[in-house]
Amino acid sequence: MMNKITNLILTTLCILVLAVPYTINAQTIEMVFVQGGTFTMGCTSEQSDCEDDEKPEHGVSLSNFSISKYEVTQAQWESVMGSNPSWFSECPNCPVESVSWNDIQEFLRKLNERTGSNYRLPTEAEWEYAARGGDKSRGYQYSGSNNIDNVAWNSGNSELKTHPVGEKQANELGLYDMSGNVYEWCQDWYDEDYYSNSPSRNPEGPISGDARVTRGGSWGNGARNFRIAERSGLSPDINLSNGLGFRLARSSP
């Protein structure tokens, strides 16, 4: 009984630490604790019309982590970096875009230096697990719904621009815009054949490559790009896309 109580206390403390918000120059970063678990990644039954790089479906086990409730906003980026690179500027609560994977590494370096924390990009597996709703998943095709307009700014409803984060319906974990608004960079190198030989425990992608993983679809895409399993890759120095941003993650202490 004592061991069960101790484990419960430790788990509760872990959730509190991982979910604690940080404020930088009046900009708050809200984190959501994600209980680790095992899930099926890739072309599962509800992910219709899959691409070859989403196959085969495979089991993945993840440790606890946290992920930001929203995509990183223009105001948050500017509070750390001192400038706003976004094409759709003059919208502080819209997601920052036109940032490369390499640009984000500098943002993370400065953010962690100021906060003493260990923010990073989510791995591709963490991103998909969170988009699916983690251990609360209801098996939706998109993140939080089978109706794309409920959860995502897309080419049919966005007026071809980004929108303030958090205006659409959240998914099962309380995460917003995992589908739509802007594509999101992940930590991993991209390999279209990676699923054939990826490890089952906390996969972190290939050890090298030419492109980094992007996920989630953007304001300019149709419904096919918003499926949770859909994946793509871009050169890490690409910063000319006004449909490409990111969200933050942190490992469990």
Query: How wide is the angle at C-alpha 31 spanned by C-alphas 18 and 179, nearest 5°?
Result: 135
Residues 80, 189: Cα–Cα separation, whole Å: 26
Tens digit of pLDDT for each residue in 8-60?
333 433 444 455 565 665 568 999 999 999 999 999 999 988 999 999 999 99
H or E, element range at 19: helix 2-19
Q: What is the pLDDT of residues 168-226, one digit of tens each?
A: 999 999 999 999 999 999 999 999 999 999 999 999 999 999 999 999 999 999 988 99
Nearest to 47 by CA among 157, 164, 128: 128
Considering its fold, how many domains does the chain have in total? 1
The boundaries of the domain holding residue 117 are 2-251
CATH number for the domain harbouring residue 114: 3.90.1580.10
The rounded distance, in Å, linking the Cα atoms of 22 and 24 is 7
pTM: 0.90
For residue 95, give the DSSP letter.
B
- Reported as half-sphere exposure (CB side, CA atoms, 13 A), residue 216 has a value of 36
